[in-house]
Structure 1
């Protein structure tokens, strides 16, 4: 069977993640099952973020349509859980009762070509059965699972599902609070993970190159799903496995060996990570893990002198020199390791930098590479303004310049109508915001009146840490 015929067959059969398997018997799919008690919750996201091919005239991506946690019941399937979230959010889903979702919020299959439609993953895996057959009773759905329903334009590859490839490598590995050495690469299979003193567990989030293959972590005799918390001690060895031939998949890959990655855990001593007295590290903290994440990588190291020596600087607005330094430390670790600011010379040809500063080399790098180009004054002069405050739209624009692939900013467009205050974004930041929203890097503040970007808000150091951690975990940086 040719790849094209196989693709069409799969899109018209239960093998597509939304499936054609008859749905389970509910009074109405998505309703709370009578007489049942919740066994936990699952997190669900319904989104349309794939860029449209240039010149097609297809409707623009809708972005995130609905997202949240819903209760999970013993008789649930992934399909019924999706509909339950949609009902709670007031989003119309058509076809779920027949086991095949044809449209969401009025946006349907074939609206963007003959290969377009709705597909779904369970913990970032495109299951080999329809979502109606992914059930609690079958043991394939359990509390804590992540269910993503997404719109595809080309039948799956744009979402990471590929029937024509049996590549079982891992594309990226997020390790939460810790330092992975060396930096992760699909072709390197042995690593050391340095964790802060006192660590007792770690969360690993591997992403398969081809999401038709499952990826899991094994420690001892226990298997852990993607994103699960793994108990560890110093010296623990964790194995990341992608595409074990005994695991289910849509692909014909039984004779293709799994890809395996070994991670040795080191806790404390040289693996220790800074702890700042002004940071809230409690479980309820929205930024604590992110601070540990960036500190572990040496990107934001805290203040080293003055009244705030030893502090992270929670609540302090990030400066442009600090932003340049953070990004330079990540891009040029060898130069940073041997950097002596006392001998550093300013090399940019605009105002706003100086010799002998902690940021001098970083500003040279950022300006030379077009990452931070300076602020234009009304008289036409430009100023790097290293001590100037960083706004949210400046942060996202700089990250877009650094990370977006050629053509991505242009194809993302400038439509920010999904945000109630999108019209407040400066013209120079609109493509960057659209790109970041499409990637899921920017979601906005979820306020009663809608989602808000607040583009001109000055960004505090802890918020920058959160954005950077998200960018690393998503593989954007």
Structure 2
């Protein structure tokens, strides 16, 4: 079957529901099966996030329409899980009972072009059969699975499903905890993963370049699905495999070898990161916290009622920012630093003797990294206890990391961001530089990309920005 015929046959129904093998029948799809008890839960998401073409009169993106965990029963399919969530959230789904979803919340196939409609993944994989045939009994759907129903504008490539490519590389790999060395790259196939002392497992979340191919990990002879917690010990070798020719796929790729990545685990080795009880290492910021903590840049709170915590959700202060950057720039000074004897050498207000940040403030002000807030009377205040906004963070990083002439050449055009005009004049060139570098991408919201320059920056978001800066070679 050629590509065009595949698109006709599989578009929209490829994953959502066009399987010819009928699913298990219920009194009504999505109802709780009579006489069954839950075996766990699956996470289901229904979304419409793709930007519409300029000038098109299509309905605007809805964003996340419904999302949540739903109970999973032995006779369930991915289709019944989708309908169960939709019923709980009061979202109308049309066609599920016939094995082919044509409309969700009033948004139907072809409403945004002749290739538009509803598609979806199971554990980030566009299955080779319909969601009605993705069942618990088949072994594909299981507790902890991620079921995502998404709206496509062009039949799948805009969601990562590509029949025309047999690229089996892994595009990215995140780890629940630990430091992956070197930083992941699709063309590098051997790594070391350093885990905190006492670790007995790790969750790996690989993302494929082409989601028509499955990706799994194994230790010894045991396979683990994407995102699963993998038991490990010091010396364990994890093999991440994408697109094994024996695995099902919609692509004609039986003669294309799998891509394999080998990760050797070190537990409690030198450079491992502390573990903070307030950090969800499986969340979007988890690996970034591990990254900065292992380098001693953000060490967590050491006293008070937050001792031992990273401080998730807390806004970074200016003194903390100075300290983080100083630790990276002056590791020898930091290693021997005694705050009790530290003297404030700044000739402006806002710093003090004997503080954890005293030496950092001296360094930051002297080197023009943090120059202080200009007060109404024209004087400056280092404001060590003041909160750091996003535009302050980006400006400080630009001062520290931009090469000579880069800020000037970057200009100040922020029209790519819907709220670019809200950035202060003093931060515009820094934002332009950071956007050009790829350090700043903005929030991707239905109405465009947003900087939110005045937002107070939480400590975990700073960790993510710093990790990105290191991986890009900016720091």
TM range (shorter): 0.7 to 0.9
Deviation at 1:377, TM superposition (A): 8.0
Q: 2:35, 2:418 → 1: CA distance?
A: 49
Q: 1:70, 1:53 → 2: CA distance?
A: 34
2:272: which partner in 1?
272
2:14: which partner in 1?
15
2:217: which partner in 1?
217
Is the CA contact (8 Å cut-off) linking 2:373 and 2:382 kept in structure 1? yes
Q: 1:364, 1:171 → 2: CA distance?
A: 41
SS at match of 2:84: helix
Deviation at 1:52, TM superposition (A): 2.2
2:53: which partner in 1?
53
Is the CA contact (8 Å cut-off) linking 1:178 and 1:297 kept in structure 2? no
Q: 1:362, 1:224 → 2: CA distance?
A: 47
2:6: which partner in 1?
6
Deviation at 1:271, TM superposition (A): 4.3
**CA offsets 1:376-434 (integer angstroms, 9 cap, x no match):** 988999999776313579779999xx9xxxxxx867746xxxxxxxxxx99449x9999
Deviation at 1:57, TM superposition (A): 3.7
Q: 1:284, 1:210 → 2: CA distance?
A: 23
TM-score scaled by length of structure 2: 0.73
1:445: which partner in 2?
none
RMSD of aligned Cα (Å): 4.9
Are residue 314 (structure 1) and residue 311 (structure 2) matched?
yes
Is the CA contact (8 Å cut-off) linking 2:365 and 2:371 kept in structure 1? no
Is the CA contact (8 Å cut-off) linking 2:415 and 2:421 kept in structure 1? no
TM-score scaled by length of structure 1: 0.72
SS at match of 1:252: coil
What stretches of structure 2 of length at least 5 have no aligned partner? Answer: 337-348, 352-357, 402-413, 425-430
SS at match of 2:8: helix
Superposed counterparts of 1:100-249, under 5 Å: 100-249=100-249
Q: 1:174, 1:144 → 2: CA distance?
A: 18
Q: 1:211 to 1:286 in 2, by over 3 A?
A: closer
Bigger-Rg structure (1/2)? 2
**CA offsets 1:418-455 (integer angstroms, 9 cap, x no match):** xxxxxxx99449x999952549xx9xxxxxxxxxxx99
**CA offsets 1:331-381 (integer angstroms, 9 cap, x no match):** xx8x67789899xxxxxxxx999xx963788899998xxxx9998988999
Q: 2:252, 2:367 → 1: CA distance?
A: 47
Q: 1:47 to 1:309 in 2, by over 3 A?
A: closer
Is the CA contact (8 Å cut-off) linking 2:119 and 2:150 kept in structure 1? yes
**CA offsets 1:306-354 (integer angstroms, 9 cap, x no match):** 999985563753025645876999xxx8x67789899xxxxxxxx999x
Deviation at 1:27, TM superposition (A): 1.2
1:436: which partner in 2?
443
Are residue 389 (structure 1) and residue 387 (structure 2) matched?
yes
Is the CA contact (8 Å cut-off) linking 1:324 and 1:366 kept in structure 2? no
Q: 1:366, 1:8 → 2: CA distance?
A: 61
Q: 1:33, 1:309 → 2: CA distance?
A: 47
What stretches of structure 1 of length at least 5 have no aligned partner? Answer: 343-350, 403-408, 415-424, 443-453
2:360: which partner in 1?
358
Q: 1:5, 1:381 → 2: CA distance?
A: 71
**CA offsets 1:42-100 (integer angstroms, 9 cap, x no match):** 11111111222333243332111111110111111100100000100111111111111
**CA offsets 1:14-52 (integer angstroms, 9 cap, x no match):** 434443545542111111111211111111111111222
Q: 1:34 to 1:310 in 2, by over 3 A?
A: closer
Q: 1:323, 1:63 → 2: CA distance?
A: 34
Q: 1:375 to 1:282 in 2, by over 3 A?
A: closer
SS at match of 1:270: coil
Q: 1:301 to 1:15 in 2, by over 3 A?
A: same
SS at match of 2:443: helix
Q: 1:16 to 1:227 in 2, by over 3 A?
A: closer
Q: 1:455 to 1:210 in 2, by over 3 A?
A: same
Q: 1:375, 1:18 → 2: CA distance?
A: 58
1:91: which partner in 2?
91
Question: Which segment is superposed worse, 195-204 or 104-113?
Answer: 104-113
**CA offsets 1:202-231 (integer angstroms, 9 cap, x no match):** 111111111110000010110000011111
Q: 1:182 to 1:49 in 2, by over 3 A?
A: same
Is the CA contact (8 Å cut-off) linking 2:285 and 2:464 kept in structure 1? no
Is the CA contact (8 Å cut-off) linking 2:292 and 2:467 kept in structure 1? no
Q: 1:411, 1:288 → 2: CA distance?
A: 29
Q: 1:152, 1:379 → 2: CA distance?
A: 56
Q: 1:389, 1:161 → 2: CA distance?
A: 43
Deviation at 1:8, TM superposition (A): 3.1
Is the CA contact (8 Å cut-off) linking 2:271 and 2:295 kept in structure 1? no
Q: 2:220, 2:102 → 1: CA distance?
A: 43
Is the CA contact (8 Å cut-off) linking 1:328 and 1:365 kept in structure 2? no
Is the CA contact (8 Å cut-off) linking 1:325 and 1:363 kept in structure 2? no
1:348: which partner in 2?
none
